[in-house]
Amino acid sequence: MPMMNVYSFEPPERFVAGTVGPPGDRTFYLQARGGGRLVSVALEKVQVSLLADKLDELLDEVHARFGLDLPGVPPADNGPLDTPVDEEFRVGTLGLAWDSDTTTVVIEAVEAGEQETEGEQGAEPGPGLDRLRVRISPVATRGFIDRARRVVAAGRPPCPLCGQPLDPSGHLCPRHNGYHRQT
């Protein structure tokens, strides 16, 4: 059986979403730092966006079920990713949980593995896949959500006609029947 690495931060000193590269060619990362360790895992922009949305929903559900007072957004963490940004693995699956004993949010990013075979849809990720697991407070979760949404929105501006991202050289706008539109 392959060896599995679990990078666990309970809690991390810092847990953020960030990017490397220019808009249109960015690589998205989740990065956790703590205990003298730094772990960066790559993922897709849509995964960062969905993670922020689902964390927000999780906090709302915790408030509704357990009456937990939800914190406001803490001061913004606008700092760059810590260096070096060495990708440990590419994320395939993200998992979220609420631990009511410690009143923390647990986020687990699991390495992308071989595709599930038919009949195993929705199954747990296979053994031997690396994982990043962080346990953060509701305040840290609010800060993560805020930063993740800002990172996702900081990409290329949308075309005012079709909404597709504009490259510095323009783009082929379907609303202009394929004519090249300059920015």
For the ranges 21-25, 102-106, 116-120, the lowest mean pLDDT is seen at 116-120
Q: What is the DSSP string of 49-92?
A: HHHHHHHHHHHHHHHHHH-PPPP-PPSP--PPPPS---EEEEEE
Average pLDDT in the 60-64 region?
Answer: 94
**Across residues 52-68, what is the average pLDDT?**
94
- Which pLDDT value is given to residue 46? 95
Position 141 scores a pLDDT of: 96
Residue 121 pLDDT > 70, yes or no?
Answer: no
CA 166 to centroid of chain Cα atoms: 23
Query: Positive or negative, the Cα torsion across 174, 175, 178, 181?
Result: negative
Instruction: Please state which of the ranges 43-57, 127-141, 148-162 shows the lowest mean pLDDT.
Output: 148-162
Cis peptide upstream of residue 84 (ω within 30 degrees of 0): yes
Per-residue confidence (pLDDT) for residue 120, from 0 to 100? 46
pLDDT bin (cut points 50, 70, 90) of residue 114 is low
The pLDDT of residue 119 is above 50? no
